[in-house]
C-alpha cells in the first residue's frame, strides 16, 4: 500500500524541457498556476490548454503518463464539479427538479473548475516529470536564497527535502515489513469500522516512528563524519547557471502571461 | 610517525535521570593505547558490547575521550580547531548501508563529502570518478541506491569516504548487515584499497574470518585490549579467544583440535590451503 507513494517521480528522457534550469521550471509552474486563476473566459482556458499541450509535446513525456497521474484526483474532481453544478445560483435556470437546480452559471463554473484543476495537476506534474528531485531541491535552494535575509533556513529546508525523498522508499519498505510482522501475529488491518482500522494503525506507526528516529540519529552521525556542517562554505556538484535556453523559456513564459491577462481584460 | 595514536584512552558513558543527576557511569573504553602506522591494515575484534565501536568513534572525533588523548595524523581530537581536518583524514564507514547514503543518486552521494569540504566543482567530479572506479561501482553511478544490493551500497559508502581523500578509513562493522557474498565483496574492496592506494585501514568486526589478512589484530573485551599481534599470533591462542566469546575460524579450530590430539602441526593455521599443506608435508 505505502509502496504506491509516487512523489515527484522523474520521467527519464532527453528533452529541451529536461535540460532547463530547475529555477526556471519552478517559477514557470508557479506563474502558470497563477495564470489559471487569472483566466475567466473560454479563450483564456483554450490558451492555457494549448500552452500546456505544447510544453508536454516538447517534454517528450507521453500524454498517457499524465492521464495516469490524474486518476487519484478523479473523485475530488467529480465532487467539486457536482458542488459547483448544484450550488451555484443565478439566471437562467436550465433544469429544476425537486431540490436540485442547475443554472447556466453553475454549468460554466463546474466546467471552469474542472479544467482549472486538471491543468493545475498536469502543469505541476510536468515539472516533476522533467526535473530530478535533487535538481528540484537545488533549484529551490538557490532560487529562494533571498529568503535568507528574513532568517529562513533555506539550505537546511532543501537538505531536509532531499533526505526525505531519499528515505520515502526505505520507510515505505519498513512499514510494509512491520505490517506483515503484525499480521503474522494476528493483527487485522483490513476489516472493521474506520475507528477500528485507525486503531489498528497504532502498532504499525509506533515502531515505524521509533525506527525513523533511530535512522535519523545514524544519518546525522554519518553526515557529521563526512564533514557536513551546514550550508556555509559548501560547494556544489551541479552549480546552477542560466543558459540561453532558459532565457528563451522566460521570454515565452512572460509572453504567455501577458496574453492571458490581455484576453481577460478585452473579453 | 603513527597515523593514529591513542594514549591511555578512557571513555565513560554517563546515564542521567530526569533531574540531570548521574545514575551510573559505564566505562566503555578503559585505558586503551593503540599505535597505527601509515599503510597498515588493522583489525579490531570484539563481541557485541565490547566497546569496539566506541573506540572507532573516538578515532575521528565523533566522541571525545573522558581522559587520555587521541592523535590523528598529529592532531589532537580534543582540539576543536582541527575537527574537520581530522574527519577528513580519518574517514568512517558505518554498519547500516541505508542510514549513511544521503542522496538518491549514487554519484551525488559520493560527492557529498567533497561538497561539504568546499572542493571546487571540477575537482569533485574528478574525485567522484576515481572513487567509483576504485570500488568498482562506475557502472552504477547514475543508479538509485534503492536498486543496489547491501554489498554494493557499502562499496558506495566506501567510495564516498575515498572521495574525501582520507589517509585512513575506519570501518565500523561494515559487514554486519550483509549476506556472505556481500561481506566478501566489501572486504575484498577494502583490501584492494589498502594494497593499491596505501590507505590505512582500521576494520572493526566480530567476524574473525575477515581479519585473517590484517597486519595486526587487537582483540577488545569490556573496553580493554586483551590480546594483540599478527593474526597468526592471535589465532594460535584459540582457547583464549573462546574465553572472550569469539568464534575462531573453522580451519584454525580444526587445526588446534588436531594438534591437541597429537598431530604435529604448527600453531595458528589460518586457511584451508595452509592446513592441507601442513598435513601433506
| Rounded CA separation A226/B48 (Å) | 25
Predicted confidence at residue A210, as pLDDT, reads: 94
Nearest to B98 among A170, A229, A237 (CB): A170
Q: Mutation test of the interface with chain B: which of A7, A166, A227, choosing the one with the most B Cβ atoms within 10 A?
A: A227
Q: Beta strand pairing status for B216-221 and B90-93? A: unpaired
Position A3 confidence tier, pLDDT thresholds 50, 70, 90? very low
In this prediction the ipTM stands at 0.87
A163, A215, A226 member nearest B160 (Cβ) = A226
Q: Please state, in angstroms and rounded to a whole number, the distance separating the CA atoms of residues A146 and A144.
A: 5
**pLDDT 10s digits, A140-161:** 888 888 888 898 898 899 889 8
Task: Give B76's strand partners.
Answer: B71
Is B53 among the domain residues? yes
Query: CB distance from B181 to chain A under 8 Å?
Result: no
| pLDDT tens-digit readout, A64-75 | 888 887 888 888
Picking from B202, B172, B245, the residue whose alpha carbon sits closest to that of residue B34 is B202
CATH number at residue B218: 3.40.50.300
Report CB contact under 8 Å: A134, B119: no
What is the Cα–Cα distance from A127 to A25, expressed in whole angstroms? 6
Instruction: Return the residue of A nearest to B93 by Cα.
Output: A222
Handedness of CA A234, A236, A240, A241 (dihedral sign): positive
Using CA atoms, how far apart are residues A145 and A137, in angstroms rounded to an integer?
12
CB of B24 within 8 Å of a chain A CB? The answer is no
Determine the structural domain holding residue B141 and report its residue range: 38-62+76-232
How many other C-beta atoms are found inside a 10 Å radius of the C-beta of residue B14? 10
What is the per-residue pLDDT across A25-53, written as a single tens digit (0 to 9) for each?
Answer: 999 999 999 999 998 888 999 999 999 99
B163 chain-A contacts, CB cut-off 8 A: none
What pLDDT does A2 receive? 44
Burial profile B151-174: b = 16 or more Cβ within 10 angstroms, e = fewer: bbbbbbbbbbbbbbbbbbbbbbbb
- CB–CB contact B121 A239 (8 Å): yes
Which residue of A128, A155, A229, A235 is the best one to mutate when testing the B interface, meaning the one whose CB has the most B CBs within 10 A? A235
The DSSP code for B89 is: H
A200-204, long-range: CB < 8 A, 24+ apart: A204/A175, A204/A178, A204/A179
pLDDT of residue A69: 78
C-alpha cell at A249: 523559456
* Nearest of A223, A183, A220 to residue A201 by alpha carbon: A183
Instruction: Please check whether residue B186 is in contact with residue B218, taking contact to mean a CB–CB distance below 8 angstroms.
Output: no
Write out chain A residues lying below 8 Å of B62, CB-based.
221, 224-225
Write the pLDDT tens digit of every residue in A183-232. 898 878 777 788 888 888 888 899 999 999 999 999 999 999 999 988 88
Specify the pLDDT at position A233. Answer: 84
Q: Write down the pTM of the prediction.
A: 0.82
Q: What's the confidence (pLDDT) of residue A219?
A: 94
A228/B112 CB distance under 8 A: yes
CB-closest option in A222, A237, A239 to B100: A222
B113 contacts A163? CB cut-off 8 A? no
Tell me: pLDDT of A94 over 90: no
Cβ distance B115 to A239 less than 8 Å, yes or no, reads no
Report the percentage of chain A scoring pLDDT > 70.
97
What are the b/e assignments for A30-56, b being 16+ CB within 10 Å? ebbeebbeebeeebbbebbeebbeebb
Cell numbers for A1: 500500500
Closest Cα partner for B160 from B105, B86, B200?
B105
In this prediction, residue A8 has a pLDDT band, given cuts at 50, 70 and 90, of low
Whether residue B104 and residue A165 make contact (CB cut-off 8 A), yes or no, is yes
Per the structure, the count of domains in chain B is 1
Q: What is the per-residue pLDDT for B254?
A: 86
| Reported confidence tier of residue A4, pLDDT bands at 50, 70, 90 | very low
pLDDT of amino acid A254: 95
- The pLDDT of residue A1 is 40
Q: In chain B, which residues have their Cβ closer than 8 Å to the Cβ of A233?
A: 118
Residue B109 is assigned to a structural domain of this protein: yes
CA B281, CA B269: separation in Å to the nearest integer?
14
**Burial class (CB within 10 angstroms; exposed 0-12, middle 13-18, buried 19+) of B85:** middle
Other CB atoms within a 10 A radius of the CB of residue A198 amount to: 10
Annotated domain spans of chain A: 11-131+237-267, 154-236
Cα–Cα separations (whole angstroms), residue A35 to A22, A113, A207: 20, 14, 45
From first to last of its 281 residues, chain B has per-residue pLDDT tens of 789 999 999 999 888 888 888 888 888 899 999 999 999 999 999 888 888 999 999 998 999 999 999 999 999 999 889 999 999 999 999 999 999 999 888 999 999 999 999 999 999 999 999 999 999 999 999 888 888 999 999 999 999 999 999 999 999 999 999 998 999 999 999 999 999 989 999 999 988 888 888 999 999 999 999 999 998 888 888 888 888 888 787 888 888 888 888 888 877 777 888 888 888 87
Residue B110 CA to residue B143 CA, distance in Å, equals: 12
**From B162, which residue of chain A is nearest by alpha-carbon distance?**
A226
Quickly tell me which residue has 587445526 as its cell: B255
CB–CB contacts below 8 A, A to B: 88
Q: What is the pLDDT of residue A26?
A: 92
Amino acid at each position: 500500500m505505502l509502496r504506491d507513494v509516487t512523489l515527484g517521480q522523474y520521467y527519464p528522457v532527453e528533452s529541451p524541457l529536461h535540460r532547463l534550469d530547475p529555477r526556471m521550471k519552478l517559477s514557470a509552474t508557479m506563474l502558470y498556476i497563477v495564470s489559471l486563476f487569472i483566466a475567466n473566459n473560454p479563450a483564456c482556458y483554450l490558451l492555457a490548454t494549448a500552452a500546456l499541450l505544447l510544453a508536454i509535446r516538447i517534454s517528450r513525456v507521453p500524454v498517457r503518463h499524465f492521464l495516469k497521474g490524474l486518476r487519484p484526483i478523479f473523485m475530488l474532481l467529480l465532487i467539486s464539479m457536482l458542488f459547483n453544478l448544484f450550488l451555484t445560483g443565478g439566471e437562467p435556470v436550465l433544469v429544476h427538479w425537486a431540490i436540485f437546480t442547475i443554472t447556466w452559471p453553475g454549468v460554466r463554473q463546474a466546467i471552469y473548475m474542472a479544467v482549472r484543476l486538471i491543468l493545475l495537476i498536469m502543469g505541476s506534474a510536468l515539472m516533476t516529470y522533467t526535473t530530478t528531485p535533487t535538481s528540484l531541491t537545488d533549484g529551490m535552494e538557490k532560487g529562494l536564497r533571498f529568503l535568507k535575509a528574513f532568517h529562513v533556513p533555506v539550505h537546511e529546508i532543501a537538505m531536509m527535502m532531499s533526505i526525505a525523498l531519499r528515505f520515502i522508499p526505505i520507510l515505505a519498505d519498513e512499514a510494509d515489513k512491520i505490517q506483515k510482522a503484525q499480521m503474522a501475529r494476528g493483527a487485522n488491518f483490513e476489516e472493521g469500522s474506520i475507528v477500528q482500522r485507525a486503531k489498528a494503525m497504532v502498532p504499525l506507526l509506533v515502531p515505524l516512528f521509533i525506527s525513523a528516529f533511530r535512522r535519523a540519529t545514524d544519518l546525522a552521525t554519518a553526515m557529521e563524519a563526512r564533514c557536513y556542517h551546514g550550508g556555509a562554505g559548501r560547494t556544489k556538484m551541479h552549480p546552477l547557471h542560466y543558459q540561453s535556453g532558459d532565457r528563451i523559456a522566460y521570454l515565452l513564459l512572460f509572453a504567455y502571461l501577458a496574453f492571458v491577462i490581455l484576453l481577460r481584460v478585452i473579453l | 610517525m603513527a597515523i593514529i595514536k591513542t594514549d591511555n584512552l578512557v571513555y565513560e558513558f554517563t546515564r542521567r535521570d530526569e533531574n540531570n543527576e548521574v545514575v551510573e557511569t559505564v566505562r566503555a573504553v578503559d585505558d586503551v593505547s593503540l599505535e597505527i602506522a601509515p599503510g597498515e591494515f588493522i583489525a579490531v575484534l570484539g563481541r557485541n558490547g565490547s566497546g569496539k565501536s566506541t573506540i572507532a568513534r573516538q578515532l575521528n572525533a565523533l566522541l571525545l575521550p573522558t581522559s587520555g588523548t587521541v592523535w590523528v595524523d598529529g592532531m589532537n581530537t580534543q582540539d576543536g580547531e582541527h575537527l574537520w581536518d581530522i574527519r577528513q583524514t580519518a574517514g568512517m564507514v558505518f554498519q547500516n548501508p541505508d542510514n549513511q547514503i544521503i542522496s538518491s543518486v549514487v554519484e551525488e552521494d559520493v560527492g557529498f563529502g567533497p561538497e561539504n569540504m568546499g572542493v571546487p566543482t571540477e575537482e569533485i567530479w574528478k574525485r567522484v570518478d576515481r572513487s567509483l572506479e576504485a570500488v568498482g561501482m562506475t557502472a552504477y553511478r547514475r543508479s538509485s541506491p534503492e536498486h543496489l544490493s547491501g554489498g554494493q551500497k557499502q562499496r558506495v559508502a566506501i567510495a564516498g569516504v575515498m572521495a574525501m581523500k582520507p589517509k585512513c578509513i575506519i570501518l565500523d562493522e561494515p559487514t554486519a548487515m550483509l549476506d556472505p557474498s556481500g561481506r566478501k565483496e566489501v572486504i575484498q574492496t577494502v583490501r584492494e584499497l589498502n594494497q593499491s592506494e596505501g590507505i590505512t585501514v582500521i576494520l572493526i568486526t566480530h567476524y574473525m574470518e575477515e581479519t585473517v589478512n590484517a597486519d595486526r589484530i587487537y582483540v577488545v573485551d569490556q573496553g580493554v585490549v586483551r590480546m594483540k599481534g599478527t593474526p597468526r599470533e592471535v589465532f594460535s591462542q584459540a582457547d583464549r579467544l573462546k574465553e572472550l566469546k569469539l568464534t575462531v575460524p573453522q580451519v584454525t579450530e580444526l587445526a588446534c583440535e588436531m594438534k591437541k590430539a597429537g598431530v604435529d602441526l604448527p600453531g595458528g593455521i589460518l586457511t584451508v590451503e595452509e592446513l592441507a599443506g601442513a598435513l601433506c608435508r
